[in-house]
Amino acid sequence: MPLKLDVNNRSESFAVVEKVQQHFGTIDILINNAGYALNGAVEEASEQEARAQFETNFFGTLWLTQAVLPIMRKQQSGHIIQVSSILGIATLPIIGLYNASKFAVEGLTETLASEVKQFGINVTLVEPNGYVTDIWGNGFNSESIPAYDGIKKAIAEGHDPDTFGKTSATVPAIIKLVEAENPP
């Protein structure tokens, strides 16, 4: 049942979850994977860009999590999978706001897992490596300050596509995760 959803809109997030629950009767799994990367040094990010980065990557995750929790609590079951990033535990230059948003997802998820285990709800944090996708070149770039050109060039030259994760390996790994009797 495809439904359009802007994860930045809290009320829309709750309304879509309600539609899904009404249609299917239960919600067994939530995978929070919405996100994007703001490219630019920390100093380069405008207030609007910084807030937008957190609205999608952190608050979008929070809104959908909050929307499914009453349903899963009532069911006494469910599995919430929060997709963070390896950059939620280690950082790279020129994507500091993305790093920070993923660190926030990490803290939220670790706390959530301990809060909802008593209700039979599993919470799993997935921290994948980067993928070769449009997330890095999609036009979400801060206005450049020339002082950072050297580090940007060094990072760009150091990217080796062979070191990135494979999207084709992700689906079987997620399926294995959701089918696990005692998921991490």
The residue from 13, 84, 85, 101 that is catalytic is 84
Is residue 96 helix, strand or coil? helix
Dist. CA 42–CA 14, nearest whole Å: 32
Calculate ∠ Cα 175-12-36, nearest 5°: 55
CA angle 53, 33, 20 (to 5 degrees): 115
Q: Determine whether 84 is an active site residue.
A: yes
Task: Please confirm, yes or no, whether 102 is among the known catalytic residues.
Answer: yes
Which of 13, 85, 98, 148 is labelled catalytic? 98
Residue count of the chain, please give it: 184
Please classify residue 175 by burial: count the beta carbons closer than 10 Å to its beta carbon, then call 0-12 exposed, 13-18 middle and 19+ buried.
Answer: exposed
Burial class (CB in 10 A: 0-12, 13-18, 19+), 135: middle
Known catalytic membership, residue 77: no
Beta bridge partners of residue 40, listed in sequence order: 95
Q: At residue 40, what are phi and psi to the nearest 5 degrees?
A: 150, 150
Q: How far apart are CA 25 and CA 164, in angstroms?
A: 38
Annotated catalytic residue within 13, 85, 101, 102: 102
Positions marked active-site: 84, 98, 102
